[in-house]
Amino acid sequence: MTIIERPSTEVAIAGAVPVGVKPSEALGVFKRPAASSSWRDWVVTVDHKKLGIMYGVAAFVFFLIGGVEALLIRLQLIAPDGKVLNADQYNQMFTMHATTMVFLFVMPMAAAFANYFVPLQIGARDVAFPRINAFGFWCFLFGGLFLNSSWFLGGGADGGWFMYAPNSSTLFSPSHGVDFWTMGLQITGIASLTGAINLIVTILNMRAPGMKMMRMPIFTWMVLVTQFLLLFAIPVITVALFLLTFQRSFDATFFDVASGADPLLWQHLFWIFGHPEVYILILPSFGIVSEVIPVFSKKPLFGYPIVAMSGAAIGFVGWGVWAHHMFASGLGPVSVTVFSMSTMAIAVPTGVKIVNWIMTMWGGKLTFTVPMLFAVGLVTQFTIGGLSGVTHAVAPSDTQQTDTYYIVAHFHYVLFGGAVFGLFAGFYYWWPKMFGRQLSESIGKWNFWLMVIGMNMTFGPMHILGLQGQPRRMFVWTKARAGEGLFNFGFWNRIASIGSFILGVGILLFIINIFYTHKLKKGALASNDPWDARTLEWMTDSPPKEHNFDVIPQINHLDEFFHRKYEQDSATHSVTQVHSADEVMAELNAHPDEHIHMPSRSYWPILLALSLPTIGYGLIYNRMLMAIGVAMVLLTMFGWAMEPATSPDEDFDPPESGDTHTKELVPHG
Amino acid sequence: MAESAIAHDHGVSHGAHASSTGLSNNKMGMWMFLGSECLLFGGLISTYMLYRGRVSSGPQPNNIFDIPFTSVSSFILLMSSLTMVLAVSSAQRKDDRNTNLWLTITALLGATFVGGQVYEFTAFYREGLGFTTSLFGSSFYSLTGFHGVHVSVGIIMLMALVGMNRNNRIPGDKAEVVELIGLYWHFVDIIWIIIFTLVYLIPS
């Protein structure tokens, strides 16, 4: 049977075209871009795997930018009365560091893995809306570049990543930094929103036959929860950003306290977005380690349904805790009590996950490869951050900690020790599948240990600094108020700064590892299943061919690939391998599908995305430019609407011989 | 039921495999988008509800609203939902002529509503309520303005649909495309019912 991975509705396109005209020319405004191997192919691609890689590369570059910003902050604070940055530059630095890491690194890096692996894990050939997927990537990239272009146009935003109003109004922040920030986040928000719709529909609608919800890999589950959080959180910050833009550009009065505005409005809007946001950052990493730990423990994930449902529970309760960011703002005792309790409650599903990971490892045959090290690193480091998080849930304690380095310590343990470690586990785990070579384990181990040591040296002392009273966001600390003895600011700030450079070296080793593996070609060529893994993405080539699977597998189990390789003796419960990975694939691909339609390349996503920063620059500098941007949006949308998702003349068959090593696609007709 | 069975057969005959949920990707995508839009208007409505009584200068809400006028324009917008249903129904019967007719009428009714809003904004501005006059002014114009932009986008989509339909250039299942635009249109109408009630009818 032939399987075409696209909505059946589009089949009718072919009939609508006048006879004798090539469909691609009849329906597009431009000539449809053809397949090629040059860089142009990356500009017009709609392939979820290429877009995943592009998300990853761009996010990693932003990670390095954000990292340099962090190092400058630590250089400034290494000694009393730092001279590296002045107060204004320091404000811009911590604002842009946080904004970059949250919106331009962790979110898009999770999107990179989601884009690449969700279709593979559910046995699909692409996402539901491939062109919207490409549009989302370009929005993220252009939004990020737009935001960072503020460095060259008068300085970055300087109000903190939460950008509290009225501090962010033109009176207190007269440069264009905040304008770049609002418009930049608006554009990356479009990327997140379209990505959320796309991935939700993909996961709900495009699962392989037999893949019920409770047979989905746990990473796909966590991505699904994350995308629902994004779907409902992004519009809230969209409103907040619009209000701020109207305030700054059109003199609206939303945050003008003199005319009676309520400064808490911004805080509520921001944190109703902002707290789901922290789960948006961490849940994909939870998903990744939930894939990695079972594979390297040689055991199924302990309590799969509980891990999936606790993720969903975090997704629900995550909406009821936002005001714990505002305990110090005078909400009143009832609000504080309610949010304090809900914050303690959300620790429960999180703790459940940690128990499940530990129980998965318990009694397993553990192999400490680099992905496993990072996964265990997440379990330990995130737990530290989670525990200090519970101390913020206690409102009286939080009131003491608010705006001190203790908070900085907490969220770096959960974000760096949690989200980033999870992403690095993902890099090492999925690298052979994505690029066909394995990253060096020995460099990887240095990479891991330097990162663990570096992060604990950097963020561990911040607990002490915070409890000793060093405030966040202060561009200097002075010797006079540094205190004495073991807990003085001088010693621990120096440790933290040295640690941050060790951390930097650790991350540098990752880049060296990539260079070593690919440029020097020292990395071993990866087999299709190098880790003896359990899920569908390993049941195809490394790297996968454009249409992912020659045959869409029928799913009968959770961990389908594992069940095809191994059989359990019903009497002794012992598990024995009955097929190798290659045998499983050869059997699956014996009769490859014919006439596979893949979504066709398109110019429209990048053109539509380009019009958005045009509007942004127009809003800041020239209203004419803004009008041009709006016109571009309308024109490109029409062009897009006129162009069918799949040009009907592209149709190809995989090689008939069943030769699984052939990765080339054969164009048909 | 019969229709969905036919649609299913149609898909199988071309070798497409049905979606896991039975709902088409496009329709599920539209529902997700509308779910997200609820939170957008939720944020704007909350802002308005917080600020509706805060008038440091300029007119008060109760002095400025012309309830009979806005009731009429609201009625016109709600009637456009009826004509939208008729358009979807015509599209499902593959009656292109009536589909185009009802889509055009829907767009015209929507345009009448937007015209009424422009008139209303102008009148309010003359009476002293500018965008920057007071918190009430800023939040009122933002909320109703966002809704007006949504209606305008809907009108553009309706007119584009008519244009594409006349040239037979609607990709895929025509009836479903009309239905999707219809979903958006009804959503915008429902939002207006909420806005009309909260902003105009309930005295501050």
Contact A299, A364 (CB under 8 A): yes
Question: A3: distance to nearest CA of chain B, Å?
Answer: 6
Determine, yes or no, domain membership for B197. Answer: yes
pLDDT band at A594 (very low <50, low <70, confident <90, very high): confident
**Cis peptide, bond prior to residue A543, ω within 30 of zero:** yes
Q: Find chain B residues with C-beta within 8 A of A262's C-beta.
A: 50-51
Taking an 8 Å cut-off on Cβ atoms, the answer to whether B25 and A7 are in contact is yes
Nearest CA in chain A to B47: A265
Cα-Cα-Cα-Cα dihedral sign, residues A320, A188, A239, B73: negative
Taking an 8 Å cut-off on Cβ atoms, the answer to whether A250 and B18 are in contact is no
Question: A10: distance to nearest CA of chain B, Å?
Answer: 4
Burial (Cβ within 10 Å: 0-12, 13-18, ≥19) of residue B56: middle
Determine, yes or no, domain membership for B11. Answer: no
pLDDT band at A430 (very low <50, low <70, confident <90, very high): very high
Taking an 8 Å cut-off on Cβ atoms, the answer to whether A236 and B39 are in contact is yes
3-class DSSP string for A427-449: HHHHHHHHHCECCCHHHHHHHHH
Nearest CA in chain B to A233: B39
Mean pLDDT of A482-493: 90
Kindly report, residue by residue over A92-137, the tens digit of the pLDDT: 999 999 999 999 999 999 999 999 999 999 999 999 999 999 999 9
Question: B83: distance to nearest CA of chain A, Å?
Answer: 24
Distance CA A543, CA A532 (A): 16
Determine, yes or no, domain membership for B4. Answer: no
Determine, yes or no, domain membership for B123. Answer: yes
Tens-level pLDDT at each residue, chain B (204 residues): 333 333 333 333 333 447 889 899 999 999 999 999 999 999 999 999 999 888 888 898 888 999 999 999 999 999 999 999 999 999 999 999 999 999 999 999 999 999 999 999 999 999 999 999 999 999 999 999 999 999 999 999 999 999 988 888 887 788 999 999 999 999 999 999 999 999 999 876
Taking an 8 Å cut-off on Cβ atoms, the answer to whether B44 and A239 are in contact is yes
Sequential DSSP letters for A319-343: GG-GGGGGGGG---HHHHHHHHHHH
Contact A669, A647 (CB under 8 A): no
Rg (CA), chain A: 26
Of A188-192, A353-357, A652-656, B199-203, give the lowest mean pLDDT range: A652-656
> Smallest Cβ distance to A253: which of B35, B40, B138?
B138
Sequential DSSP letters for A181-234: HHHHHHHHHHHHHHHHHHHHHHHHH-PPTT--GGGS-HHHHHHHHHHHHHHHHH
Mean pLDDT of A268-273: 96
Closest to A418 in 3D by CA, of A357, A367, A345, A467: A357
Question: A582: distance to nearest CA of chain B, Å?
Answer: 27
Determine, yes or no, domain membership for B33. Answer: yes
Percent of chain A residues past pLDDT 90, beyond the cut: 81
Determine, yes or no, domain membership for B85. Answer: yes
Does residue A327 carry a pLDDT above 60?
yes
Single-letter amino acid code for the residue at A220: T
Determine, yes or no, domain membership for B12. Answer: no
Q: Find chain B residues with C-beta within 8 A of A11's C-beta.
A: 10-11, 14, 16, 172
- How confident is the model at residue B63, as a pLDDT? 87
Q: Find chain B residues with C-beta within 8 A of A13's C-beta.
A: 171-172
Q: Find chain B residues with C-beta within 8 A of A27's C-beta.
A: 169, 171
CA atoms within 13 A on the CB side of A535: 28
Is-above-0.90 flag for pTM?
yes
Question: B48: distance to nearest CA of chain A, Å?
Answer: 10
> How many Cβ atoms sit within 10 Å of the Cβ of residue B148?
20
Torsion of CA A256, A260, A262, A266, to 10 degrees: -30
Q: Find chain A residues with C-beta within 8 A of B142's C-beta.
A: 242-243, 246, 252
Cβ-Cβ contacts under 8 Å between A and B: the total is 163
> Smallest Cβ distance to B171: which of A13, A243, A262?
A13
Closest to A605 in 3D by CA, of A48, A185, A45, A59: A45
Distance CA A388, CA A406 (A): 9
Nearest CA in chain A to B167: A16
Contact B27, B180 (CB under 8 A): yes
Determine, yes or no, domain membership for B6. Answer: no
**Mutation site, B3, B24, B27, B36, interface A, largest A CB count within 10 A:** B36
> Smallest Cβ distance to A4: which of B15, B38, B39?
B15
Q: Find chain A residues with C-beta within 8 A of B181's C-beta.
A: none
Cα A600 → chain centroid:
26
- How confident is the model at residue A658, as a pLDDT? 44
DSSP A596: B
Q: Find chain B residues with C-beta within 8 A of A7's C-beta.
A: 16, 19, 24-26, 172
Kindly report, residue by residue over A155-168, the tens digit of the pLDDT: 999 999 999 999 99
- How confident is the model at residue A5, as a pLDDT? 43
Q: Find chain A residues with C-beta within 8 A of B47's C-beta.
A: 239, 243, 254, 265, 269
Mean pLDDT of A260-287: 95
The residues pairing with A576 across neighbouring beta strands, listed in sequence order, are: A567
> Smallest Cβ distance to B32: which of A200, A246, A265?
A200
Nearest CA in chain B to A203: B20
Strand segments (E) across B20-141: none
> Smallest Cβ distance to A253: which of B32, B42, B134?
B134
Count: domains in chain B = 1
Q: Find chain B residues with C-beta within 8 A of A253's C-beta.
A: 132, 134-135, 137-138
Distance CA A590, CA A555 (A): 17
Single-letter amino acid code for the residue at A138: W
CATH number at residue B49: 1.20.120.80
Does residue A663 carry a pLDDT above 50?
no
**Mutation site, A2, A5, A6, A9, interface B, largest B CB count within 10 A:** A9
Q: What are phi and psi of A255, to 5 degrees?
A: -120, 20
Distance CA A220, CA A121 (A): 7
Taking an 8 Å cut-off on Cβ atoms, the answer to whether A251 and B132 are in contact is yes
Contact A377, A423 (CB under 8 A): no
Sequential DSSP letters for A124-179: -SS-S-HHHHHHHHHHHHHHHHHHHHGGGTT----STTTT-TTTTSTTT--STHHH
Taking an 8 Å cut-off on Cβ atoms, the answer to whether A254 and B32 are in contact is no
Structure tokens at A442: 């020995």
Taking an 8 Å cut-off on Cβ atoms, the answer to whether B160 and A262 are in contact is no
**Highest-confidence range of A457-471, A512-526, A562-576, by mean pLDDT?**
A457-471
Question: B71: distance to nearest CA of chain A, Å?
Answer: 27
Taking an 8 Å cut-off on Cβ atoms, the answer to whether A16 and B169 are in contact is yes
Q: Which helix (H) or strand (E) holds A567?
A: strand A566-568
Helix (H, G, I), strand (E, B) or coil at A652: strand
Kindly report, residue by residue over A292-312, the tens digit of the pLDDT: 999 999 999 999 999 999 999
Q: What is the domain extent for residue B91?
A: 25-201
